[in-house]
Each structure stands twice: as C-alpha cells, then as structure tokens.
C-alpha cells in the first residue's frame, strides 16, 4: 500500500480551497491529514516539518501563495499584488536551505508578473493552475529520476540511504527512494539500510515506514552504524537526496550526509545524489554559499518529549551539511545522470545538451 493520499495536494477551488498535507510529525504512530487554509498555517507546517523534503516544500509553498492571496481575490489588482509580495516574502522565511522553496515561490511570482492586466479573481485561478502544474511536474520528475537511476543500482544486493526522500518528501514517488523502489521492483531481494537520521528520525519514522508500506526489505540502523555496515560489505551503493545543489555539484542534504560521503569514499562505494532540476541553484558557485539551517537545541536535548541531556547543556544543531562534488559518483536528475560531477556536465545535462 502506498500513502493513501499524496503528501501534498490541493482540495477545492481557488477562492475557497486549501492545501492538504499528511502531518509527518505524527508518523509512523498516527496518520493524520491536515488542512492548511492560511499562509500562517502553511508557514508553520513547513517550519515544524509537518511537510518536509525539498520538493514537497516547494509544492506546499506554491499552494501557500494561493491560500495567502484568497483574502484579496475581490480587491484591486494593486492590492492583490501587494498581498502576493508579502505572502511570498513571508513563506520564504520558513526554512532557508531547500532551494525548491524559493524556486516554487519565484515561479508563482513570475506568473503574476506575466499577467498584469488580469483581474484579481482570475489571477488567483491562474496561481492555482501554476501550483498544480508544479505538483504535476514534480510527480513526473520523480518518475524520470527513478528511470534514470535504476541502472545504477541494478548490481546491488544492498543499498544505504539517509533521511527521507520518498513519497512523503515529494509530490510523487520520491527522488533517491524512488530509485530504490524501482530497484526493489526489479530485484525483490534488495536490502535497504535506512539511517535513522538523528535528531528528528526521518529515516526511522518515515523512510522505514514507506519502505515497509511497499513491501521493500528495510533494515533500520543508527547513523553511527553506517561505516560498519559498509565495512561488512552489506551495501554496494549509497543514495541520498538533496536540498540544494550548487553549480559545481556540491550538494546540501540532511545532516550526516557529509560523513556518509566520506565513509563511502573510504570504502570505495559509489555515492549517488538524486534530485530534480528544481533543487539545483546555479546562481551559486559552490556549497560554501549554501545557507545551512540551524534548528532549536531542544531537538537534541529533548527529542520527542524526553530529556536526554543535562539542563542548560550547550548544543549545535545544523539541520544540513554539504557533500562535496568530489565525493559524489553521480547526480541523478529527471534529465539524466550527471557523471562525472563537474560544472560543465551539470550545465550540459540540465540544459539538454548533455546526452
Ligand atoms: O529537514 P528535512 O526533513 O526537510 O530534510 C529533508 C532532506 O534532507 C531530504 O533528503 C531532501 O530534502 C531531499 S527530499 C526528496
């Protein structure tokens, strides 16, 4: 069984509909869908990881623009534009690392800029159309990523992944996890090792859940076990997603990805990053320019309501790190596989001049 409904979707028409999400903070214990009918509720859902994963954040933000502009659907176009600007700016402040957020918001703004003479009600309809297009394209990108990535895992008996990059993190089947799903369909014996992904346990709570829902053999490990699992020869590839990929291929992803990339290199195991073109930020040269979100210390000291560190203990809680391009065997995109990972190859594949 797959997720009963997509992780992010729209219910209703433009003037009165709303964004619908699976509340991922409750999984795997409880499956609950929530309705987000204001920009504030969408902002909170993104900030608190009720919706998470770079592509899903981009789709949610696009729908967030629609709900944010609903109150001005009967106002002048000037008022509509002013509201749109403030909603876009507001949603952009929810999380800093996943570039899909800014990419989705930019697309929505550009649609409004392109039709300055449209009335506000028609503009709202047009914005909903664009958000739905973003959702649909994301679903298609997932399917293409799975197709392009499949041959890379065809010889693997075991594969390791980190965080959650599946149906919950996208509008479709996922990025890295979609490749794994495809590989498991081809080879039902495939063993998938899922890092639990401290501190918020996206691997344990979400990836293990998604794999089990689909009948894929999933083995949960603590993050610190990955090196030993490689040493024992249990995995022949590592595949992860990304939140932002710089022009040179440096890839930001969930904290722990950098260490995994070094471990994979040390064990001579291919390290793949699967992501749609919407996750590339070609305006930045390298990973040094990627803003890394720092989250509340309570995520480390009081994980899931239980105190696990002394009172007043100092913490450092970066939510992401950057795997350097030199550690990445290939980038898997909906437009094809980028290998070797160089600025030139990235440019060639993303612009369609590569293969
Ligand atoms: O903090 P999260 O859960 O939003 O982090 C998610 C990740 O790091 C994913 O690996 C990434 O967004 C790719 S999702 C297809």
- Catalogue the long-range contacts made by 136-141 (C-beta closer than 8 Å, 24 or more residues apart): 136/171, 138/55, 138/58, 138/59, 138/170, 138/171, 138/172, 138/276, 138/278, 139/170, 139/171, 139/172, 139/173, 140/172, 140/334, 141/55, 141/172, 141/276, 141/277, 141/278, 141/334
Asked whether residue 355 is domain-assigned, the answer is no
Task: Please give the pLDDT value at position 3.
Answer: 54
The answer to whether the CB of 210 is under 6 A from ligand 1 is: no
**Whether residue 57 sits in one domain with residue 39:** yes
Query: Domain count of the chain?
Result: 2
Q: How many CB atoms lie within 10 A of CB 245?
A: 33
Compute the mean pLDDT over every residue in the chain, rounded to the nearest whole number: 97
Position 46 pLDDT exceeds 60: yes
Distance 163 CA to ligand 1 centre (A): 6
Give the domain extent around 186: 143-350
The answer to whether the CB of 60 is under 6 A from ligand 1 is: no
Cα separation, 275 vs 244, in Å, equals 9
- pLDDT classification of 4: cutoffs 50, 70, 90: low
Q: 180-214: per-residue pLDDT in tens?
A: 999 999 999 999 999 999 999 999 999 999 999 99
Q: What are the pLDDT digits (tens) for 226-245?
A: 999 999 999 999 999 999 99
Q: Evaluate the omega torsion of the peptide bond into residue 199 and state whether it is cis, within 30 degrees of 0.
A: yes
CB neighbour list of residue 293: distance below 8 Å, 6 or more residues apart: 95, 96, 97, 318, 319, 320
Domain match, 254 and 314 both: yes
Q: Is 166 in the pocket of ligand 1 (CB under 6 A)?
A: no
CA distance 298 to 317: 9
Task: For residue 57, give the ligand 1 atom closest to its CA.
Answer: 4
Q: Are residues 178 and 64 in the same domain?
A: no
Does a structural domain hold residue 325?
A: yes
Task: State if residue 278 touches ligand 1 by the CB under 6 angstroms criterion.
Answer: no
Q: Who's near 308: CB < 8 A, 6+ residues apart?
A: 300, 301, 302
CA distances (Å), 77 to each of 38, 49, 80, 118, 225, in order? 20, 33, 5, 8, 56
168 and 273 share one domain: yes
Contacts of 75 (CB under 8 A, 6+ apart): 83, 120
Q: How far is CA 337 from CA 125, 331, 351, in A?
A: 36, 6, 13
40: in domain: yes
Length of the chain counted residue by residue: 355
Q: Are residues 151 and 90 in the same domain?
A: no
Please indicate, yes or no, whether residues 58 and 177 belong to a single structural domain of this protein.
no
Whether residue 259 sits in one domain with residue 157 = yes
Query: Is position 3 within any domain?
Result: no
Residue 1 has pLDDT above 70, yes or no: no
The answer to whether the CB of 135 falls within 8 A of the CB of 64 is no
CA of 169 to the centre of ligand 1 (A): 7
Query: Does 243 qualify as catalytic in the annotation?
Result: yes
What confidence tens digit (pLDDT) does each residue in 303-342 have?
Answer: 898 999 999 999 999 999 999 999 999 999 999 999 999 9
Q: In this structure, are 345 and 237 located in the same domain?
A: yes
- Cβ–ligand 1 contact at 253 (below 6 Å): yes
Tell whether the torsion through CA atoms of 282, 182, 196 and 256 is positive or negative.
Answer: negative
Establish if 95 belongs to a structural domain: yes
Q: Same domain for 190 and 287?
A: yes
Over range 163-176, report the average pLDDT: 98
Instruction: Report the candidate in 98, 103, 10 with the shortest Cα–Cα distance to residue 52.
Output: 98
Sheet containing 18-22: which strands, arranged edge to edge?
8-11, 18-22, 33-36
Interaxial angle between packed helices 39-47 and 77-92, expressed in degrees from 0 to 180 and rounded to the nearest 10:
10
Tokens (6 digits) for 249: 């291929």
CATH of the domain at 181: 3.40.50.10470
| Single residue among 140, 173, 188 that ends a domain in this structure | 140
pLDDT tens-digit map of 267-278: 999 999 999 999
Q: For residue 132, what are the CA distances in angstroms to 191, 276, 332?
A: 35, 17, 24
Give yes or no: residues 129 and 213 share one domain. Answer: no
Catalytic-labelled residue, pool 138, 223, 243, 321: 243
pLDDT for residue 2 is more than 90 = no
Q: The tokens 């309809």 sit on which residue?
A: 125
Output the domain CATH number for residue 94. 1.20.120.420
| CA neighbor of 228 nearest in space, from 256, 261, 173, 267 | 267
Q: How far is the CA of 164 from the centre of ligand 1 (A)?
A: 6
How far is Cα 53 from Cα 243, in angstroms, rounded to an integer?
A: 8
Is the pLDDT at 22 greater than 50, yes or no? yes
Is 127 in the same domain as 252? no
User: What residue has token string 């699976």?
Assistant: 22
Where among 140, 164, 198 does a domain terminate?
140
- Residue 167's pLDDT is 98
Tens digit of each residue's pLDDT (9 = 90 or more) over 248-267:
999 999 999 999 999 999 99
DSSP H or E stretch at residue 86: helix 77-92
- Say if 2 falls within a structural domain: no
- Report the nearest atom of ligand 1 relative to the CA of 177: 15
Q: Are 180 and 187 in contact (CB under 8 A)?
A: no
Strand partners, 254: 320
Q: Quick one: 245 and 120 in the same domain?
A: no
Instruction: Note whether residue 1 is domain-resident.
Output: no
From 140, 166, 182, give the residue that closes a domain. 140
């Amino acid at each position: 069984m797959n997720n009963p409904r997509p992780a992010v979707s729209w219910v209703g028409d433009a003037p009165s509909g709303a964004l619908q999400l699976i509340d991922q903070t409750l999984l795997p214990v409880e499956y609950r869908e929530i309705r987000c009918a204001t920009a504030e509720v969408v902002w909170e859902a993104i900030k608190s990881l009720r919706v998470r994963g770079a592509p899903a954040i981009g789709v949610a933000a696009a729908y967030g623009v629609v709900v944010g502009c609903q109150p001005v659907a009967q106002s002048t176009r000037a008022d509509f534009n002013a509201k749109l600007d403030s909603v876009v700016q507001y949603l952009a402040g929810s999380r800093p690392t996943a570039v899909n957020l800014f990419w989705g918001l930019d697309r929505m703004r550009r649609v409004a800029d392109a039709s300055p003479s449209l009335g506000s009600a028609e503009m709202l309809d047009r914005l909903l159309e664009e958000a739905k297009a973003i959702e649909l394209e994301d679903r298609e990108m997932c399917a293409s990523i799975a197709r392009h990535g499949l041959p890379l895992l065809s010889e693997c008996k075991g594969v390791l992944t980190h965080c959650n990059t599946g149906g919950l993190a996208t509008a479709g089947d996922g990025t890295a996890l979609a490749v794994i799903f495809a590989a498991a369909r081809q080879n039902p014996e495939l063993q998938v090792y899922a890092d639990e992904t401290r501190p918020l346990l996206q691997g344990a709570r979400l990836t293990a859940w998604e794999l089990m829902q689909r009948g894929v053999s999933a083995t949960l490990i603590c993050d610190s076990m990955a090196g030993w699992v490689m040493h024992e020869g249990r995995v022949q590839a590592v595949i992860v997603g990304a939140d932002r990929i710089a022009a040179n291929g440096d890839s930001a992803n969930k904290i722990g990805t950098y260490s995994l990339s070094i471990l994979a290199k040390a064990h001579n195991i291919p390290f793949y990053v699967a992501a749609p073109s919407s996750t590339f930020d070609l305006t930045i040269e390298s990973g040094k320019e990627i803003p890394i979100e720092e989250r509340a210390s309570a995520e480390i000291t009081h994980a899931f309501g239980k105190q696990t560190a002394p009172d007043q203990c100092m913490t450092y809680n970066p939510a992401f790190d950057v795997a350097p391009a030199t550690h990445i065997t290939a980038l898997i995109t909906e437009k094809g596989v980028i290998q070797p990972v160089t600025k030139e190859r990235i440019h060639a594949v993303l612009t369609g001049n590569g293969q």
